[in-house]
Amino acid sequence: MHAVLKMVVQRVALGVLTLLVVSALVFISVEFLPGDVAEQILGQSATPETLAALRDQLGLNTPPVERYFDWLGGILQGDFGQSVISQRPITELLAQRLGNTLSLALLATLISVPLAVGLGILAALKRNTWVDRTINIGTLTAISFPEYFVAYGLILVFSVKLGWFPSISIVSGTVTFAERIHLTLLPSLTLTMIVTAHMMRMTRASIINLLALPYVEMARLKGASQRRVVVVHALPNAIAPIVNVIALNIAYMIAGVVIVEVVFVYPGLGQLLVDSVAKRDVTVVQAACLIFASAFIIFNLVADVISIVSNPRLLHRK
Amino acid sequence: MTQTPLLTITDLVIQAQSDDGPKTLIDGLSLSLNKGEVLGLIGESGAGKSTFGLGAMGFTRDGCRFASGSVIFDGIELTQASPKVRRGLRSTRIAYVAQSAAASFNPAYSLIRQYSEFPVLAEGRNRSAVEVDAVEAYRRMHLPNPEEIGFRYPHQVSGGQLQRAMTAMAMACKPDLIIFDEPTTALDVTTQIEVLEAIREAVREFNTAAIYITHDLAVVSQMADRIMVLRHGNLVEEAPTAKMMSDPQEEYTKSLWAVRSFKAPAKPLPDDALTPLVSLKNVTARYGPAGPDVLQNVSFDLHKGRTMAIVGESGSGKTTSARCAMGLLPRRAGDVLLDGVSLPPDYHKRSKEQLQQLQIIYQMADTALNPKQKISDIIGRPVTFYTGLRGRARTERVRDLLSAIDLDPNVYFDRYPGELSGGQKQRIGIARALAAEPRVVICDEVTSALDQLVAEGILRLLVKLQQDFDLSYLFITHDIATVESIADDVVVMQKGKVVEAGPKDQIMAPPHAPYTELLLSSVPEMDPGWLDRVVQKRALE
């Protein structure tokens, strides 16, 4: 088998293994919570008889290992079980929320990644000039504020003062594409301001590291302009570290958006998680945690694969 | 007939910015170079050769600038020209060949893509036409598979081939001037000879002018019509090659010429019945469980008080043998004996007494010394570890060791490595090895990163220390001149095997094993006609 393919398969297998471990951890941590699902549901009206009946009905009397594999098997078939509180299938609850969260993350990614990489390249090109300093200070300032502060700041300016965007981003299933973008732009900008500094600084640092290398000097001595040196000669060799930071940030935008979603009352997964925790809807919490963990694992996996594939030493063997 | 020179440099001063004001790297150098002429620039590291060579292209490294003087290339004043004008000349009219082609090719692109970059970009030529040219250029450089090699990536091609590919790339736009900056320094002698020949042929064929920068006199005498000797950014002297080789005027130049004359006193042959101090017996080793065997049945004996040189090209297994002896790389098979007693393969399993016997000095003193530790700590730690001395006794011992390596303890005791020159750092490396009071010291290319004068000082010191402390050396080197001056016994290695081994006089005198013959005949000689002779002789064979 081709060596690169082998490495990619290895990484994917490792990713799947990590997912399994995470799912087990999520399952176990819920098991350790005081009380069980039956007690949650019945609450005050719990009597030993009703509890026993409900436990039997929910299958809680089977051993945990068996229940774990039932749960896992269900998930693999797209069935996350039922909400303890509303009794609705979790899959249905998640589907729309996940779609909303992903579309928000996608829009934020489309804005922040080109912006961050572009600013990083610009800062590297104009190293130690006022351009570089302005970019650094600007992005650092943005990341230094708490997320809700940035969010309310944007709301103050763009919806209260200017009235361009709504301050509440409730998307329903019926919005058009244009409406959706209009509704999610402010939350996306908030996310952008939070993640840009990290990616920008990694891009800048990776490129500057390379600028001291002999092959970059060689490019200069061959007559390449500064822009060509950075974009054509340095950037392709800096892909691996940059992609890794981008992956972490995209995963963060999926799993770490709780505050932003709450501020904008955006019906995403983060909201769902907060609501479910408040209602002690453990099965939904379980499902949401698993999805967040998966996001981190999958995006890191993708970054690993891109790093492998972008490395000429691995791609073109001796 | 007088012609207008292609390149005229007048009173050029290049300064570097540093914390204590500007530092002058090039101090008023001038030169003039005609079309098709090859000028050799020679000097020790820090002499300003590279800075001057780059300055001839109108280029200064970051933090450096042209302070005064002029560089006029074909009527264009480069120090004042706009960056655009300067860039426009590069590749098309002035090209550069760097010291380490392996580091100077961009790892992300194939060779031919890098070859065609500027012919396409600057001359607006068609990429496929340039690639046809490239194949022709690779053929002219005697690269194997010229049709195919360009499509490889730099890491897939050997160092010597990369250096030739880089020369081909420099000639892609048929420039009038090429700066060769130590193009063969990183190569083995057997490879160097091929690259030298290819460069010279190409330069002659296109009547290209060249500035050839090197620290190797023998090499420059093969390549240059005229030689300039530099020191500390100043000109020492300048003369046509033949005159410079036969009749150098300045004391400094003479000292450079004489540097290879050092010879350690010969020692009597050891008694055959004596147990060797260190003995490798059929040692086999590999890196990683699945790797190929990088050592195959390597055997040799080092006797007490003697110096055994291990010579061979890079990748021949010289350093790996030493690492097996040290236990840094556990051997897979065979045995390593100290005083006839088998040593455990892994150094973790060796007793402190066993570890103490064998010490090592590394090639790159820069990276082998912790820059955050004072000299007294660097030497003091092994003193305490191996001999248990502490407090005043330890201080005394460190001071004695500093005196032994000819560094004044009052001056150097509290210094950091960064405050020392390359030769001084290497001396600290020696003192650190001696601190353990070893019987065997492995010297891994200890002089190859140093200038010849400094290297000679290190060799003299090692010989003195050998007599004072009754040491035995395992001396790894690729430099035959070093072998000649210091070795008692020689082991020739190739591809992980021992080609031949024995007393120096026997190995260095004919008849040689074929590989030894190739190795010895590839060592450049000071005679300007040497390259022609060797190339002719090899063509006949």
**pLDDT tens digits, one per residue of B222-247:** 889 999 999 888 899 999 988 888 88
Q: Is the ipTM of this complex over 0.85?
A: no
Which tokens belong to B496?
A: 């992980």
List the Cα angle B464/B467/B468 in 5-degree steps.
Answer: 85
Average pLDDT over residues B152-174: 87
Domain covering B278-521 in this structure, CATH number = 3.40.50.300
CATH of B39-59+82-257, one of 3.10.105.10, 3.30.70.380, 3.40.50.300, 3.40.50.2300: 3.40.50.300
Whether residues A9 and A123 fall in one domain: no
Question: Hey, is the C-beta of A219 within 8 angstroms of any chain B C-beta?
Answer: yes
Which residues in B have their CB inside 8 Å of a CB on A? Answer: 54, 57, 59, 61, 87-92, 95-96, 98, 100, 103-109, 117-118, 122, 152-153, 155-156
User: Has residue A174 got a pLDDT over 90?
Assistant: no
The whole-angstrom distance between residue B11's C-alpha and the CA centroid of its chain comes to 31
Q: What is the 3-state secondary structure (H, E, C) of B215-226?
A: CCHHHHHHHCCE
Which residues fall within 8 angstroms of residue A102, CB to CB, at 6 or more apart?
Answer: A254
Question: What CA–CA distance (Å, rounded) separates B442 from B491?
Answer: 14
Q: What is the 3-state secondary structure (H, E, C) of B26-42?
A: EEEEEEEECCCCEEEEE
Looking at residue B233, the DSSP 8-state letter turns out to be T
Asked if B106's CB is within 8 angstroms of A237's CB, the reply is yes
> Is residue A85, in this structure, part of any structural domain at all?
no
Give the nearest chain A residue to B121 (CA atoms): A224
Give the nearest chain B residue to A127 (CA atoms): B62
Q: Which one, of A96, A73, A67, lies nearest residue A282 by Cα?
A: A67
The CA distance from A317 to the nearest CA of chain B, in Å, is: 7
CA atoms A207, A212, A218, A220: torsion sign: positive
Does residue A66 sit in helix, strand or coil? helix
- Type and span of the H or E element at B301: strand B293-302
Is residue A72 packed enough to be buried (19+ CB in 10 Å), middle (13-18) or exposed (0-12)?
A: middle
**pLDDT tens digits, one per residue of A56-73:** 777 777 788 888 888 888
> Is residue A81, in this structure, part of any structural domain at all?
no
Question: Hey, is the C-beta of A127 within 8 angstroms of any chain B C-beta?
Answer: no
Whether residues A238 and A177 fall in one domain: yes
Does residue B333 sit in helix, strand or coil? strand
**pLDDT tens digits, one per residue of B356-408:** 999 999 988 888 899 899 999 999 999 999 998 888 999 999 999 999 999 99
> Is residue A266, in this structure, part of any structural domain at all?
yes
Considering only residues B442 and B189, tell me which one the structure prediction assigns the higher pLDDT. Answer: B442
Confidence of residue A1 (pLDDT cuts 50, 70, 90): low
Considering only residues A145 and A59, tell me which one the structure prediction assigns the higher pLDDT. Answer: A145
> Is residue A83, in this structure, part of any structural domain at all?
no
The CA distance from B371 to the nearest CA of chain A, in Å, is: 21
Question: What CA–CA distance (Å, rounded) separates B382 from A3?
Answer: 44
Neighbours of B296 (CB within 10 A): 18
Strands of the sheet containing B38-42, edge to edge, are B94-97, B177-181, B209-214, B38-42, B226-231, B234-240
Confidence of residue B437 (pLDDT cuts 50, 70, 90): very high
Domains of chain B, residue spans: 39-59+82-257, 278-521
How many residue contacts between A and B have a Cβ separation below 8 Å? 64
Q: Do B39-59+82-257 and B278-521 agree at the fold level? A: yes
CA atoms within 13 A on the CB side of B264: 30
> Is residue A292, in this structure, part of any structural domain at all?
yes
Whether residues A65 and A100 fall in one domain: no
Neighbours of B530 (CB within 10 A): 18
Whether residues A13 and A98 fall in one domain: no
Which residues span the domain enclosing A14? 3-76
**pLDDT tens digits, one per residue of A42-51:** 776 777 777 7
Query: Which residue's entry shows tokens 């002999």?
Result: A214
pLDDT at position B211 is: 93
The CA distance from B38 to the nearest CA of chain A, in Å, is: 20
Query: Are B172 and B91 a contacting pair, CB within 8 Å?
Result: yes
Which tokens belong to B231?
A: 């020191």
For residue A223, give the nearest of B88, B105, B109 by CB distance: B88
Whether residues A127 and A168 fall in one domain: yes
Q: Which one, of B334, B419, B344, lies nearest residue B374 by Cα?
A: B419
Considering only residues A257 and B283, tell me which one the structure prediction assigns the higher pLDDT. Answer: B283
User: Has residue B1 got a pLDDT over 50?
Assistant: no
- Type and span of the H or E element at B345: none
Looking at residue A165, which CATH number applies to its domain? Answer: 1.10.3720.10
B330 φ, ψ (degrees, to nearest 5)? -65, 135
Question: Hey, is the C-beta of A128 within 8 angstroms of any chain B C-beta?
Answer: no
Whether residues A147 and A271 fall in one domain: yes
**pLDDT tens digits, one per residue of A8-33:** 888 889 988 998 998 898 888 877 77
Last residue of a domain, one of A19, A45, A76: A76
Span of A95-99, A246-250, A313-317, B219-223 with lowest mean pLDDT: A313-317
> Is residue A192, in this structure, part of any structural domain at all?
yes
Last residue of a domain, one of A45, A76, A107: A76
Q: Which one, of B22, B16, B31, B18, lies nearest residue B69 by Cα?
A: B31
Query: Which residue's entry shows tokens 């979790």?
Result: A90
Whether residues A120 and A255 fall in one domain: yes
Whether residues A293 and A173 fall in one domain: yes
Asked if A214's CB is within 8 angstroms of B91's CB, the reply is no
Q: Which one, of B491, B51, B105, B453, lies nearest residue B303 by Cα?
A: B491
Last residue of a domain, one of A15, A47, A76: A76
